[in-house]
Structure 1
Amino acid sequence: MQIVGIKVSWFPAVLSGLLLSVCFPPFSCFPVAAFALAPLIEAVWGREWRYAGRMGFLAGIVHFGTLLWWISPTISQYGNLSDWVAWPVFGLLMCYLAVYPAIWSGLTGYWTAGRSRLPSSLALAGTWTLLEWTRGHALSGFPWGYLAYTLEPVPSMIQTAEIWGPYGLTFLIVLLNVLIWKFCKCILNAGTEDSAFSQSRRVGLTQLCLFLACLVCLWFFGKWRMVEVAHNDDRLPELAVAAIQGAIPQDRKWDPAFQVSTLNTYAGLSSKAAEGFDDSGASSDNGVKVSSGLVVWPETATPFYFQVPSPLSEKVRSVARDLDIVLLFGSPAYRFNGAGKAEYLNSVYVLDSDGAVAGRYDKRHLVPFGEYLPWGWVTSWARDLIPAVGQFSAGITSRPLSCGDLRIGVLICFESIFPSLSRETVLEGANFLAVLTNDAWFGRTGTPYQHEIMSVFRAVETRRWVVRAANTGISSLIGPCGVRTAKTSLFEPDHIEGRIHLRKGHTFYVKYGEIWLLLFCLFWAVVPFWRKVPKEV
């Protein structure tokens, strides 16, 4: 490619990286997802695999660099790192994440260089899906920015997540990109000597139209499922809920001087929310009272050890008693291991309407280099470099918290981006999900929006209501079809209330996960390796 007479071979890769990023919040230009990969495919098709890999790496750097730029200022401000350290640390993360599109591009180049037959479009879609799944699991996992999440603005298109999670939707998006690119390539190369693309335009158009017809069918399926789920939902036990957003500034959150005012803020907002709970509270399918209402506070809403008896702990208990509610809230906690050493936890408590502790959940999937240093001695040297890194220990159970008829599947902050964790707690019997988080770290960037849309997918995958309470937003109530019934703005003290239903049963995805889809993708990813046909002389 030439721009003003200057050869710019890297431009298509950069363009794909930028197009991928604008598909996500705060831009949410979801139609762009249909062709965002096309420039990268054009840049690497038929090229030597090393060159193709470099183009994929560049696209990954641009995409993840523009999608996750907020990481550097966050770790600089709250991790006590100077900018000259924070930006290189961020750069290392970008380099790691860019490896995945680099592998995909390198394989695309390898499969297409020197061949007269095109690799199946399914091979390219399957390979991307496998790599995306790997990124979400390898080295603790970082499943942020899955392509599937670009479809969040179109609820009817994400209903199949109950079958194959976000991975099947990613597969379809990549497949659409490849088919659109191939069709355009056939048009531009019709009648030329390029044997790979000299096929009739009719063939490319037929393939693309058939796939688009399938997408239309999936859209109608989604519409039908939304009606069915909503109809069945109305027959289930109902619960009045409220999510409290205290909007406590991060620089005050852990200051002991503000502990009382913090509790007063949450107590006051909870009182306002409880006024919206009518006298009947919520009823079960046989008319029996389920609960007088549930109020959810965010992650570490109580900036002290609630388990230690104190006036502050008693004040929290009094909120549940005085308002006659079930209270779910985040608090730091600790336990002692077998050696008698204290282990610190990021926990969530549930209090019944008498103020008694009905259960505690400890965060299982901690943030690496934020809440703990992974891999033991391998990264122990980084503690001096990142002095603010936490020393938390992981929880050991996915069992939902129980209080009366409530089976609360708790996800704390980072955990809500992992589909497997919500699957596990629903398999354990959760009849709704509660996401407690603190996104104050990220300011008024697109990050709180990107984080919140993943809870939408957790709702559809499990067909559970999601109550999301965030310290500074976004707090929301999300139905089992991924439709929000209430939502807050950023950095405003607020509360939202509504009715949710306590659901039972398991979706196909909850029962069987994505292993069957991964095997399907693996099959198509292997096919090109034995279909090599030498280019005719």
Structure 2
Amino acid sequence: MAVTAPESTATDDTPARRRRNWRPWLLRLALAAASGFVFYLSFAPRPLWWLAPIAFAGLGFALRGRRLWGGLGYGFVFGLSLYLPLLTWLQDFLGTEFGPWPWLGLSAALAAYLGIGGALATLAARLPGGPVWMSLVVIATETPRTWWPLGGFPWGRVAFSQPEGAYTPLASIGGAPLVGFAVVLTGFAVPALVSRLRTPRRALLPAAGVVVPVVAGLALWPTIGTGAQTGSLTVGTVQGNAPNAGLALMDDSATIRANHLAQSDRLAAEIHSGAVPKPDLVVWPETATQMAAGVDPGVDQAVADLGVPTLIGAIYRPAGGGRVQNSEIVWDPRSGPGERYSKQELVPFAEYVPARAIAQWVTPFVDDTSDMQPGDAPAVLDIAGTRVATPICYEIAYDHVARDAVDLGAQLIVLPTNNAWFGESEMSYQQLAMARLRAVEHSRAVVVSATSGVSAIVEPDGSIQRSTSEFTAASLVGRVPLRDTTTLSDRLGAWTEYGLVGAALVAVLAGVVVRLRTRRASAENTTRATGAG
């Protein structure tokens, strides 16, 4: 007698089955989180640039076979694990009494871009050569977050983890976008390679994705020039130091000014005694003093004592009133102030406050500060017989600022900055890494002059000639080459970025078409099977 077996109790709805279905999801989530943290570890001050492609390999495994919403979630978790530790210097700035909300909010906003990148990458993954298109999509998300919202925030771009190493020379070809694309491609090609190892012919393309970016970067190293082409310049920096006080630094402008006048006096004494070579140019850091209409007897005397043209970083109030500007002023030891460059890319909620009625909930600056006026001229000045690019502070994170100046003939890049706000954090080293990448991108030496460190003299190949420690009073004097070569990156300009973004958009649209066709074909097959049954 045949007995009909009862229906199995181990259906898809049983607790045991549900637990098994959750395990892959949790493992992927843990992998995305761990990979994001590994990516953070690739950033300065650690010289672990090679961790970046490993991090994207981990993200690639987490995204493999996922759909849109899964990609969004894993990408967001990856981004959050990157930005939360990368931006802890915001807490050093604001202090514990202000709370973690600005730090958490900014980290989440930036992570959302990587979430969108992860989601759209799952569409591009359906195309032949999926890792290439996925990499384009992820790098394309860096473009909108560079300018939106509120002027954007380029911190944490993939390329900024690569101030040295195999990928760095690619900056001379396609700038930060190409460097970032190469890093991500190496990582994303790894899961595809692993899945095809048993079929060597099918593994050739992903193997090329892993190897070619690294080989291309290494092959370009001999082309990175460092020699002087139009002479050289002896440059000095003035690092006067500042109190390590975070937000309280707002009330210490007089101390910062006094410190920089004192350090200028010490540098002048060293010059006159022959302890250091006489510079052709001295650079003060960003906002080292405040002045109205270029009138400042103390700075006049300090520059006269130095006896050389000096770039003075100042909060500058124009004649006749008006909003102040964050400026670098050419100061001659005999004739006084001359040309001036004012910062174009102002920091939201610090140098200006958008939507003040709303912003008072998230920023301490609403009641105590007024908005600065952005500059509208390129970051280039003529001083000491040299055309000099003068991006100020975090303008070094924006591609166009240094590039526009080099296009106008700048032979040297100087970076005045005030990082005293951020304590003994990684912020200064992260910014120095950007300066090192820009040196290779434009084939120019870079001189970083920081209020409290890290000041540095960077060679055109991104190597550091000399540097200072944080929160010390110090000066650097070094010889730097002047160069007028135009890299391919400079000649292509923003077109490299536009090309990568355009290709990413095409990949996403093509991925949507493939997905719709696959769904339609699946539905038709189901209909046929049902009819046949």
Query: TM-score range, shorter-chain basis?
Result: 0.7 to 0.9
Q: Does residue 1:243 correspond to 2:261, yes or no?
A: no
Structure 2 length normalisation: TM-score? 0.84
Distance 1:150 1:516, change over 3 A: closer
**Which residue identity lines up with residue 388 of structure 1 in the other structure?**
F
**Which residue identity lines up with residue 98 of structure 1 in the other structure?**
A
Equivalent-residue separation in structure 2 for 1:254 and 1:381 (angstroms): 28
What is the aligned partner in structure 2 of residue 305 from structure 1? Answer: 291
Equivalent-residue separation in structure 1 for 2:208 and 2:359 (angstroms): 53
Q: Does residue 1:219 correspond to 2:199, yes or no?
A: no
Between Structure 1 and Structure 2, whose CA radius of gyration is higher? 2
What is the aligned partner in structure 1 of residue 190 from structure 2? Answer: 180
Distance 1:426 1:262, change over 3 A: closer
Equivalent-residue separation in structure 2 for 1:505 and 1:110 (angstroms): 41
Alignment of 1:250-261 (within 5 A): 250-251=244-245, 254-256=252-254, 259-260=257-258
What is the aligned partner in structure 1 of residue 411 from structure 2? Answer: 431
Equivalent-residue separation in structure 1 for 2:68 and 2:259 (angstroms): 60
What is the aligned partner in structure 1 of residue 365 from structure 2? Answer: 388
Q: Does residue 1:152 correspond to 2:163, yes or no?
A: yes
What is the aligned partner in structure 1 of residue 117 from structure 2? Answer: 104
SS at match of 1:136: helix
Given the alignment, which residue of 31, 55, 63 partners 1:36? 55
SS at match of 1:152: coil
What is the aligned partner in structure 2 of residue 141 from structure 1? Answer: 152
SS at match of 1:183: helix
Distance 1:488 1:327, change over 3 A: same
Equivalent-residue separation in structure 2 for 1:146 and 1:412 (angstroms): 19
Equivalent-residue separation in structure 2 for 1:347 and 1:488 (angstroms): 23
Equivalent-residue separation in structure 2 for 1:423 and 1:67 (angstroms): 26
Given the alignment, which residue of 386, 391, 413 partners 1:411? 391
**Which residue identity lines up with residue 237 of structure 1 in the other structure?**
G
Distance 1:513 1:428, change over 3 A: same
Q: Does residue 1:69 correspond to 2:88, yes or no?
A: yes
Distance 1:234 1:434, change over 3 A: closer
Distance 1:308 1:326, change over 3 A: closer
Given the alignment, which residue of 323, 339, 345 partners 2:306? 323
Q: Does residue 1:364 correspond to 2:362, yes or no?
A: no
Per the TM alignment, residue 387 of structure 1 is displaced from its structure 2 partner at its CA by 3.7
Distance 1:351 1:277, change over 3 A: farther
The count of corresponding residues between Structure 1 and Structure 2 is: 489
Distance 1:379 1:28, change over 3 A: farther
Per the TM alignment, residue 157 of structure 1 is displaced from its structure 2 partner at its CA by 3.4
Equivalent-residue separation in structure 2 for 1:403 and 1:120 (angstroms): 50
Per the TM alignment, residue 514 of structure 1 is displaced from its structure 2 partner at its CA by 3.1
Residues 160 and 176 of structure 2 are in contact (CA less than 8 Å); yes or no, is this contact kept in structure 1?
yes
Distance 1:308 1:384, change over 3 A: farther
Distance 1:259 1:491, change over 3 A: closer
Residues 177 and 496 of structure 2 are in contact (CA less than 8 Å); yes or no, is this contact kept in structure 1?
no
Residues 466 and 479 of structure 1 are in contact (CA less than 8 Å); yes or no, is this contact kept in structure 2?
yes
What is the aligned partner in structure 2 of residue 92 from structure 1? Answer: 105
Per the TM alignment, residue 316 of structure 1 is displaced from its structure 2 partner at its CA by 1.7
**Which residue identity lines up with residue 26 of structure 2 in the other structure?**
V
**Which residue identity lines up with residue 112 of structure 2 in the other structure?**
V
Q: Does residue 1:333 correspond to 2:333, yes or no?
A: no
Distance 1:484 1:258, change over 3 A: closer
State the Cα deviation string for residues 125-176 of structure 1 (Å, max 9, x = none). Answer: 111111112222222121111111222232x631221221111011111111
SS at match of 2:323: strand
Residues 281 and 384 of structure 2 are in contact (CA less than 8 Å); yes or no, is this contact kept in structure 1?
no
SS at match of 1:17: helix
5+ unaligned residues in a row in structure 2: which ranges? 1-18, 526-533
Per the TM alignment, residue 180 of structure 1 is displaced from its structure 2 partner at its CA by 1.1
Equivalent-residue separation in structure 2 for 1:385 and 1:209 (angstroms): 47
**Which residue identity lines up with residue 161 of structure 1 in the other structure?**
A
**Which residue identity lines up with residue 116 of structure 2 in the other structure?**
I
State the Cα deviation string for residues 43-95 of structure 1 (Å, max 9, x = none). Answer: 23222311221121122112111111221341237xxxx33xx3122222122
Q: Does residue 1:265 correspond to 2:299, yes or no?
A: no
Distance 1:42 1:403, change over 3 A: closer
Distance 1:482 1:412, change over 3 A: same
